[in-house]
Amino acid sequence: MLMIRHIILSIIALCSVSAIAQTDYDSYAVKAQRYFGYKEWASAGALYSILISERPEVTDNYSHAIVAAGMLGDSIQQINLTHIALTNQINVDSLFTSTERTSFEVGQTSLYENYLLLIRSDTPWLARVIDGYLLRYYSYRSYGPGIVEYSLRMLEGAPADDRFLMSLAEGYLLCGDITEAIDAYRLAAELNPANYRALLFLGNYYKEQPDDDSRSLARLYLQAANNLHSTPYVEEALRNLQ
């Protein structure tokens, strides 16, 4: 029944576009926000369709319509809205950021994840951009497997980018894979000798290991970190390794 109502309201919205020029746009926006706030997703989506037709340059209208469609399980509408947004030259980053914020505001973080995966499948040329947003989302959720998967995807296009190596290492740590994490941190420090976080992590890791080789590595990494940013903690750690 909700889907039928959504279709009917969408038809009404399309038929009303010609009349909105004589109607206060702001009043439609207030009504749309009210329906959205009351979780009347079909009504909200219909009104946001009117607002989009009247002012196709407003990113916020698309994100609210996309979330409303997602709450109705209408993936086709989400795809259509995204295509309309891109056709109207809405900035991709603005669209995804606004949709993320809107879905989080209604407590539906997984809706945002599902939306990104949907658009990634539908629009392959946006895959790398979406991979970056998925990586950020999984990092926010501290979801190790997702962080690892999308860090590796980002590294395919930028193998020397130590930012993605750092997220990869952190993903491995969340998955409990310390060996892979250390390898990623070491490569990050090798590619960027000024990567303080990687140096500090490696120094702290190796100083806790019992063998002499590890202590030597701990001194190496902690000294490099201290050279970049000296702190009492690092200096004390170095003294203890003498």
CB atoms within 10 A of CB 101: 13
Rg (CA), the chain: 25
How does pLDDT run along the chain (242 residues), one tens digit per residue?
Answer: 545 555 444 544 544 444 555 467 889 999 999 999 999 999 999 999 999 999 999 999 999 999 999 999 999 999 999 999 999 999 999 999 999 999 999 999 999 999 999 999 999 999 999 999 999 999 999 999 999 999 999 999 999 999 999 999 999 999 999 999 999 999 999 999 999 999 999 999 999 998 989 999 999 999 999 999 999 999 999 999 88
Tell me what pLDDT residue 18 has.
45
Q: Which two tokens stand for residue 57?
A: 């340059």
One-letter identity of residue 13? A
The burial of 197, by beta-carbon neighbours within 10 Å (0-12 exposed, 13-18 middle, 19 or more buried), is given as middle
Specify whether the CB–CB gap between 199 and 176 falls below 8 A.
no
Tell me what pLDDT residue 7 has.
47
Q: Determine the Cα angle at 177 with ends 173 and 178, to 5°.
A: 75
| Helices 162-174 + 127-141 axis angle, to 10 | 40
